[in-house]
Each structure stands twice: as structure tokens, then as C-alpha cells.
Amino acid sequence: MRRTGIIMGRFIYGNGNTKVEIEDRALAHLQQVIGSKLRRNECFFFTWRDDVSIGDGRRSVWIHQNADLVFKFHGHRSPQLNRDWLEALTAVANSGSGLYLTPEPAPRSRSSQDPTPLPDRADAVGLD
């Protein structure tokens, strides 16, 4: 699905009755954070705002080792991950309120992130 040029994927929880559309780039970051926490056997809440079309409320699910989770990406390319965003999302997930999507931090200069230059990969950011 596309919403004003943004590629939208889906996070599906449980038996498929709980679904939320999330932009592919954000979904890839959430997948990394959730996977990392589950590898450490950590349980937590994941909360998001529902779309106005279904009530504009807030929904939370309990993420645990036995939960059925599906990350359905609309685009075929894996986005390049932003380390600062992963760290910010991990910090939120480790808080008492649990994981929720935060805005992506502005990229730092490459020299302040990693002294090794990274190759330019315009095709890796998921832009079509």
C-alpha cells in the first residue's frame, strides 16, 4: 500500500485480527528492536495509535516469546537501518511504558557515527 508516496507495510499480531499499517522503513527498525528483545527473552508492550478510520484510539499488545508476529513489507528492498533510531527505539522499549514508534532522528555525519566511510547505496533505502 502507498499513502502519499510512502510505502506502507503491516505489523500483524496474534491470529491476524490485530493489524497496523506502518511505513516500511519504520517497520524494519521495529522488527530489529523487537527481534533483539525477544532473543534476550524480554517481554514488553508495543503500543501504537489507531488510524482515524477505525476509531483513532490507542492499542497495545504484549510481545513475548510465544506471540505470533508478522512483519509484512510492501516494498521489496530492505532499507538501510539508522543506528541512532535503533538505539532510541530500544531505550523506549526498555522503559516501563514499552515500545512505541518515535520519530527518526536526523542523521549524524558519517564521521561522528563511524570512522569507516559507508558506500552510497541509494537502492538500499527502499525508495522506488
110 inside domain: no
pLDDT at residue 119, rounded to an integer = 39
Residue 65 pLDDT more than 90? yes
Closest listed residue to residue 64, CA positions, set 47, 43, 93:
43
124 inside domain: no
Between CA 63 and CA 44 the distance in angstroms is 5
109 inside domain: no
Average pLDDT of the residues in 10-32 = 95
80 inside domain: yes
Q: How far is Cα of residue 32 from the mean position of the Cα atoms in its chain? A: 7
Give the count of domains, the chain.
1
Predicted structure pTM score:
0.78
87 inside domain: yes
Range of the domain at 16: 2-104
Q: What percent of the chain stands above pLDDT 70?
A: 80
126 inside domain: no
State the number of CA atoms in the 13 A half-sphere of 122 facing the CB: 1
122 inside domain: no
Residue 4 pLDDT more than 50? yes
